[in-house]
Structure 1
Amino acid sequence: MGASFDGDGVNFAVFSAHAERVELCLFSQDGRRELCRLPLRERDGDIWHIHVGGLPPGTIYGYRVHGPYVPEQGHRFNPNKLLLDPYARALSGRLKWSDAVMGYKVGSPRTDMSFDTRDSAFAVPKSVVVDPSFHWGPDRPPRRSLNETVIYEAHPKGLTAQHPGVEKGLRGSYLGLASDAVLDHLVKLGITAVELLPVQAFVDDRFLIAKGLRNYWGYQTIGFFAPEPRYMTRGEIWEFQTMVRRFHGAGIEVILDVVYNHSGEGDELGPTLSFRGLDNRSYYRLREGGRYYVNDTGTGNTLNLTHPMVLRMVMDSLRYWVEEMHVDGFRFDLASVLGREAQGFDPNGGFFDAIRQDPVLAHVKLIAEPWDIGPGGYQLGAFPHPFLEWNDRFRDGLRRYWRGDAGLAPDLAKRLLGSSERFDHAGRAATSSVNFITAHDGFTLQDLVSFTMKHNLANGEDNRDGHSDNHSDNFGVEGASELPPVKAARALRKRNLLATLMLSQGTPMLLAGDEIGNSQRGNNNAYAQDNEIGWVNWANPDAGLTAFVARLIALRQAHPVLRQRRFLHGKTRAFDGLPDVIWRRADGGTPRPEDWHDHAFRCLCVELRMAAEAEDPHRDAIFAVFNAGAAQPLVLPDTAPGWRLLLDTTRPEAPEQPASPGLEVPAHSVLVFASVHS
C-alpha cells in the first residue's frame, strides 16, 4: 500500500471499494503545478494500483477519485478535490484553508448536499514518495521493563521552544528534542521513556486559524504514516529517525501518542482531504442512512475500524513506526473507540485481536486512554493485557487527598496499591495502571497549587472550554505569588503529590516541565496555545524541585518493593511469615473499620514488602507515611530490627539517616523509611 520505490520506479497502491475511477496526479517539485494524471487501471479487489517507471524518491503526488456524490447514501466522491495518500510517508506543503477544500458549496442552502467543482490542489498538502532507508548503526530498542519505567509526557515542540541549551535553529524540532541539553536533563532525572504528543501529520482547525491560533496538541491527524513536518528543519524523515536513535543511545524509549479514533476531516461540513474522498462509506462510521457521522470522539467523525482495510491501515501504520522509525510504544487517544464493535465496547474486539497477535508489536509498550464520549465510553480497567491504561482515578484521588478533602484515606490506599479493584484481573500486572497527577490536558503541577479556577480566555471560548472541576488549590492567592508562606505551602504540596506518585504501585508518568515549576498561567486546556502559554518556560527553573524529582525516581529504582508486577493483598509470605502489605495508623496500630470511615482520618501509613507470590521475596521493607493533617507522634513498626529515614518532604534536602526515637510526623508531609537488618 502507498508509494513504494523499488529502484526502477514507484508502485502506487490505494484502497477504495466504491470508486468508479482513480487517477494518480504527479506534481512539480514545488507542488504548484500538476504535471499529469495517470489512471490506475490495475485493480485487485478493492486495491487500485499502478507502477510508474523512472520516478525517484521525492516525487510529489496525490489522487483524484471519481464516483457517486450521494451524501445521503454515504458517498462523497469529488474528483475536483486532490487527496492525500493515506499511506503517504511524508507530506509537502500545508493546508491553506479555502472553501475550495470542501466537497460541497459553502453557503449553499443545500449545505453538504451541494457539489463544489473548484480544484483544491493549490490549497492542500501533497504526498511525497520516500525512501525510508536510514543508517541506524548499532541502534537497539532499550526495551525497559515496565517495573522500571518512568514516563515523561512531552510536547515535541513545547519542550524545547524556549530551552536556552538548545541551538536556536533547532528549537521546537525533532532534532532539538534530541539535543544534548534535553537528553542530559532527562537522564539526570532518571526518565526511561518519553511520550510525545501527536507527531503523525495533522492539520490546524479552520476555526482556530480564524482566531489566530493553531492546533498545538495535534489531535487532528491526516497522515498516519508521515511525521508532522512542522517539527522538521529540512523536511526530511531522517530527522525523526535521528531523534529516536539519540534517545535510544541515552537509554530512553520513545512512545508516540497516536490518534486512530478519528481523522482531521471533521463532520459532514468538514474538508475533503483524503479518506472522505477516497471512500467515505468505508473509512468512517456513519449513522443510519449514511449522511451523518457517528461522533463518539467529539471531533465530528469516527474511523471505522470494523472495516478490514481500515483496520489494516492502522496495523500497517503501527508496524511502520516500529520497523522503520524504531519507536518503542504507543499511547492510544480515546482508545475506547478502537474497541467499540456493533454491540458496544468489546475487549476481545477486532482491533484488540489484531494487535495482540502481531509479532512486530509483541515487544512494544501499549497504553490506552480508556474513555471517549460515546455510549459506555468509560472503560478504565477493561482493556486486555498487555495494555496499560491512563488512570484518572489516581489523578483525582491524589489531588483531593492532598487538598484535604474528607474521607479520602480509603481511596488513597487503593491508589497506592495500583488500583487493584480496577486492574487485578485476567492476569494483568500492577504496572497496568499509568499513574499521573498532571498531563497535557489540564493544569500543570504548578498551576494545580496556584489556581482554583481555569483561566482559558486566551482560547477564545469565553472560558467555557476545559474541565471546571480540577480538585486544585491556590492557598489563598489566585495565581502567582511571592508571599513566602504561600510559596512554601505550594512547594510542599507539589513535593507531597510527587512523592505519592513515585511511591505508588503502577507505572508513573510526569508531565514535562512539572519538575522545574512550569506554569501555563492557569490555562487548563492549552490545545491551541502554540506560544509561551503552551511552551515549557525554562527561564527560571526550580533547581530544588528538579533535584527532588530526581531523588524520588532514584529512590523508586533502588527499592523493587515500590515497583512490583504483582498486586499486594496482604497475603502472608512463606519467607518470613509477614504480610506483604500492612496498613497502619501513626500510633502504630492497625486501622479499625471506624478509622477507614472516619472523615478526619488523614494520616495513612503503609508497610510494604515484596508480594507473597514473588519468586525473590527480599527481606527489605518500606514504611511510608502520608499525612494530610496535623503533626502527630509516629510509632515505627516492630517488624524490622530498625528503620532508616530515606525521605521527608518537609526537609527535601535532608540526607538519609537512622530513624531516631520519639519521632513526629510533620503536618502535611510524606515520610519514607527503609528497614535495616542486623
Structure 2
Amino acid sequence: MIEEDKQELLISEDTYKGRDLGVTLEAQTCHFKVWSPLAVQMELLLYPPLTGGSPEEEPNQRKQQALPMQKKEQGIWALELEGDLSSYRYMYKPTFEDGHSTHAVDPYARAVTMNGEMGVIVRLEQTHPKGWSEDIRPELTSPVDAVLYELHVRDFSIHPSSGITNKGKYMAFTETGLRDSEGNTLGIDHLVELGITHVHLLPVFDFATVDESGVDVDTSDGSNYNWGYDPLHYNVPEGSYASRADDPETRIREFKSMVLALHNKGIGVIMDVVYNHTFNTAGSSFEKLVPGYYYRQNANGTYSNGSGTGNEVATERTMVRKFIIDSVRYWAEEYHVDGFRFDLLGLIDTTTMKQLAAELHTEVSPSILLYGEPWGALDSPLGDDMTLKGTQRGAGFAVFNDNFRGVIKGDSDGMGTGFATGADGKEDELWTGVRGAIQDFTDGPSETINYVTVHDNLNLWDKVARTQGLHDTLNFLTYDEDGSIRGCQSVEEAVEKTKPYLQIDSEHILENETVRRCLLANGIVLTSQGVPLIAAGDELLRSKYGDANSHQSGDVVNAIHWEQKKLFKPVFDYYRGLIRLRREHPVFRFRTREEIEKHVRLIEKGNGLLAYELNGTAASDSWERIVVIYNAAKENRDISVPTGTWNVVVEKGQAGVDTIRTKHDGQVNVNALSITVMYSKS
C-alpha cells in the first residue's frame, strides 16, 4: 500500500486529462503512454509478433528489447518509436523507490495475446469488417422505446438445435436464413421475429476464468464455462468467443462483425460491463502500475470487498473515473456499442455515473442506453456516494427495479410469491411499478428497468415452478453445501433425470398454470411504463433445471434449446404479440412523469386484480382509449369498464394488435391468470 499523503498527491496533482493513454499509431510512428506516478523508472518491454505460436523472423524485425521510457508531467511515462510495429507484443516494467519491479499489461491495451498475457499493437482500421464504415446505430428516440433481451454469447448458439455453424462465437450472430424442421426462424432471425430492439450481452470484454486455448474442447462439465464477471482486460473482446483466440485481430474483427450484423437487422447491442471489481487484485495491471490507488481500502489498510469477490475498484478517484469513462467511450466509438449495463452499480460513485452519462450523450450519441444494478454485494466504504435507487434521478441513466421484480414474482430463489405467482395484497405495489416507479424512486419512466428474471438466480420457468411446489416433481437439481448434486454423480446425469415440462399437455400448452403465470409475469413487464427487459429463452419456456447460479454449470444447463420453439410456439407467439403491441402503440411508452400522472387512470385494484385505462390521444396513439387488466386469480372475473365499443387484442393466450373480439357493454369477462388489453377509437 502507498502512504496516505502520496495517495492524496496522486489524486490532486498527478492526474492526466489526455485521451491518448495506451498505444497510438501513426503511419510510421508508435507512441506509448502509461500512468504510473509512483514509479521511479519505467521500461517498455517489446516482443516480436507471434505467428502460429512461434516468432516470425524478418530482416527488419526488432528483437526482444527493454526500452527506457521518459518521465513526463502528471505521472505519465512516454516513449515514441519509429517503424511499423503492428502485431508486436508489449508489456510495461515499472520500478519503485524500494527497488522492486514487476511486469504489467497495459490497462489501456486494445488487443492481447491468448489469455491476455501480453498487450499487442494493432492498427484498428485493419480490423473493420466489410461495411463497417457504413454502419449506423439503430434509431432510439427514448429509452422507453427499447425492449431489452439479456443473452450469453455461448448459450445463444452452442446447442445442436440452433442450426448455427459458428457455435458459441460472435460470428453466430451473422448467420441468417436458419429454420427448424417446421419452418420456424432460428438465431438472429428469431430475434428479429420476436421484435426486441436490443440484445444485452453478458460480459464480452476479456475475462479471466475461461482458458481461451481450450474453449473448443468438451466443456459439458462446466470446467471452462463462465458468465464472465471476472474482468481481466476491459478494452479487449473476450477471445473464447472468437474463431481464433491466438490471433489478436480476429476477436476484434469478429466482435465488430457481430455488431454490424445486429445493426443491419435493426437491433442494438448492450454490453454488460463490470467496472466495480477485477478478477485479481495484487496481480492486476492496476495494482502493479500504481500500488494502492485503484482499489478501495478499509480503515485498517486491507482491501474492501463490497463486490464479494475480494476487491472493489475505487471509482471515485480521478484516474479511475477517467479510465472508466475512457473505456466506455472506446467501446461506444470504436465498436459502435449502443449501451452499457453496469454490474453492481452501487459500487460506482454517483459522480462518475453522472459525468459518464453526460459525456456519452453529449459527445458520442444521445441514444446510448445506460443502466445497472443499484446495489452492492457486501458493505462498502463508498457509503453515501453509492449509486442506489433514487440517485439516478435526472442523471441520464436507469436502474433495475428490483422492487417491481419482487412484487411480480416474489423472492428470487425460494418459495416466496408475488402477484403473478399467487401472493395476496400486492396490488398497490404493482400499481406503483406499472406507472414507471414515479411514486417510488424515479423522475420518469426512462429511469426504471422493468424485469422479473435475468441470468442470476432461478430463471422464470424454474422460479414459477418452485412457487407451485414442483421442484421435486420435476426432478430439478438440488445442490448440497459441498457443491455436489444430490443423488447424482454429474451435472449431465442430473439434467438427464429432470422433467421440466412434465406438467404440460402439448395439445393445451396455454392452459397450463405454470405457463400462464410466466406469461402474466412478463406480460406485466411488457405492458408497464418504463424500459422492459426479458431474459433470453423466456419465450421458449427455457429451464435451467432448478440451477439458481449456473455461472459455471456449462452448456448442459445453460444452452438454449431451440427445438423448444416448435414445441412451445404459442408461447413465442404470445411474447411476439405483446412486443409488437408495445412497439406499435406509444401509449405504453409515455416519456414523462406528468404524462403518466395525467393519462394512466386506475379502474380497479384488489383481490389479485389490477385494471387501468390509458389515454391514447395524449400519446398520439391511433387508439384513443386503452384498458389493461391483470388477473392473477385462479378464476375468471367480470370487470366494469367504461361504456363504449371495445376491441380486445390481448386475451387468454393470444396477444397482438389485431382484434380478437368486440365488446359493446360496460362489462368484460377476464380469464383467470391472464392479461386482457382492449382499445376503443371513440
- Shorter-chain TM-score tier: 0.7 to 0.9
Q: Is the 8 A contact 2:647 2:659 kept in 1?
A: no
2:530 alignment partner in structure 1: 506
User: Which digits, 9 at most, give the CA deviation of each residue in 1:144-195, with x for residues without a partner?
Assistant: 2323210111112211111645543x11111113322422111111111111
The residue number in structure 2 matching 1:457 is 479
Aligned to 2:415: none
Q: 2:663 aligns with which of 659, 666, 673?
A: 659
Q: 8 Å contact 1:255–1:327 — kept in the other structure?
A: yes
Of the three residues 614, 626, 631, the one matched with 1:622 is: 626
Could you give the per-residue CA deviations for residues 291-328 of structure 1, whole angstroms, max 9, x where no partner exists? x2121211111112222222211111111111111111
Matched, 1:152 2:149: yes
Task: Note the C-alpha offset of 1:457.
Answer: 3.0
- Indicate the SS of the match to 2:134: coil
- Identify the residue that residue 308 of structure 1 maps to in structure 2: 318
**Mind listing any 5+ residue stretches in structure 1 that lack a counterpart?**
70-76, 95-123, 340-346, 465-476, 573-579, 586-590
Matched AA of 1:381:
G
Aligned twin of 1:411: 429
Distance (whole Å) between structure 2 residues aligned to residue 650 and residue 483 of structure 1: 15
- Structure 1 residues 531 and 617, CA gap change in structure 2 (3 angstroms): closer
Q: Using the alignment, how far apart are the partners of 1:231 and 1:529 within structure 2?
A: 18
Which residue in 2 is equivalent to 1:331? 341
Specify whether residues 460 and 154 from structure 1 end up closer, same or farther in structure 2 by C-alpha distance, changes over 3 A only.
farther
Question: TM-score under structure 2 normalisation?
Answer: 0.79
Q: Residue in 1 aligned with 2:124?
A: 132
Which of 652, 666, 674 is equivalent to 1:669?
A: 674
1:9 counterpart residue number: 29
Alignment deviations for residues 332-361 of structure 1 (CA, whole Å, 9 cap, x no partner): 11112111xxxxxxx4x2442354245334
C-alpha separation between the residues in 1 aligned to 2:512 and 2:37?
Answer: 64
Q: Which residue of 2 aligns with 1:115?
A: none
Cα distance in structure 1, aligned partners of 2:485 and 2:39: 44
Q: Between the two proteins, what is the percent identity of the paired residues?
A: 28
Q: Work out the CA distance in 2 between the residues paired with 1:352 and 1:78.
A: 38
Query: CA RMSD of the aligned region, Å?
Result: 3.0
Alpha-carbon distance in 2 for matches of 1:60, 1:443: 43
Alignment deviations for residues 13-50 of structure 1 (CA, whole Å, 9 cap, x no partner): 11112112222222243377892221213433311111
Q: Which stretch shifts more, 32-41 or 214-223?
A: 32-41
Alignment correspondent of 1:46: 75
Which structure 2 segments of 5+ residues have no match? 1-20, 56-62, 179-186, 410-417, 487-497
- Structure 2 counterpart of 1:15, one-letter code: W
Distance 1:166 1:131, change over 3 A: farther
Match of 1:109 in 2: none
Moved runs in structure 1, 4+ residues, more than 6 A? Answer: 31-34, 209-212
- Amino acid of the residue matched to residue 327 of structure 1? V
Which residue of 214, 230, 233 corresponds with 2:243? 233
> 1:368 maps to what in 2?
372
Partner of 1:294: 304
Residue 430 and residue 231 in structure 1: after superposition, are their counterparts in 2 closer, same or farther (change >3 A)?
same
Amino acid at match of 2:651: D
Answering whether residue 459 of structure 2 is matched by residue 435 of structure 1, we say no
Q: Which residue of 2 aligns with 1:114?
A: none
Q: Alpha carbons of 1:194 and 1:403: their partners in 2 closer, same or farther (altered >3 Å)?
A: same
Shift of 1:456: 6.1
The answer to whether the aligner puts 1:277 opposite 2:283 as a matched pair is: no
Instruction: Spell out, residue by residue over 1:345-378, the C-alpha distance to the aligned partner (whole angstroms, 9 max, x if none).
Output: xx4x244235424533452111121111335568
Q: Is the 8 A contact 1:214 1:529 kept in 2?
A: no
1:369–1:390 contact (8 Å) kept in structure 2? yes
Cα deviations across residues 70-125 of structure 1 (Å, max 9, x unaligned)? xxxxxxx953x53211011111122xxxxxxxxxxxxxxxxxxxxxxxxxxxxx61
CA distance in 1, matches of 2:364, 2:293: 25
Matches within 5 A, 1:377-526: 379-384=388-393, 385-399=395-409, 400-425=418-443, 429-452=444-467, 455=477, 457=479, 461=483, 479-482=500-503, 484=505, 488-526=512-550
Q: Could you say if the C-alpha distance between residues 571 and 225 of structure 1 is closer, same or farther in structure 2, counting changes exceeding 3 Å? A: closer
Query: Partners in 1 of 2:392 and 2:668 — Cα distance?
Result: 44
Relative to structure 2, which stretch is displaced further, 349-358 or 46-55? 349-358
Higher helix share: 2
The 3 A distance-change label for structure 1 pair 455 and 64 is farther
Matched, 1:649 2:652: yes
Q: State which of 53, 63, 82 in structure 1 corresponds to 2:103.
A: 82
**Contact 1:631 1:664 (C-alpha < 8 Å) held by counterparts:** no
1:317 to 319, 323, 327: 327
For 1:432 and 1:478, how far apart are their aligned partners in 2?
39
How big is each residue's C-alpha offset from its partner over 1:431-460, in whole Å with a ceiling of 9 and x where there is no partner?
Answer: 221111110112222212223568463996
Deviations 1:603-642 (A, max 9, x none): 221112159xx57587612111111124345244235x31
Which among 614, 617, 621 is matched to residue 608 of structure 1?
614
Q: TM-score, normalised by structure 1?
A: 0.80
Q: Indicate conservation of the 8 Å contact 2:315/2:348, yes or no.
A: yes
Q: Which is further off, 454-463 or 136-145? A: 454-463
Cα distance in 2 for residues equivalent to 1:618 and 1:333: 39
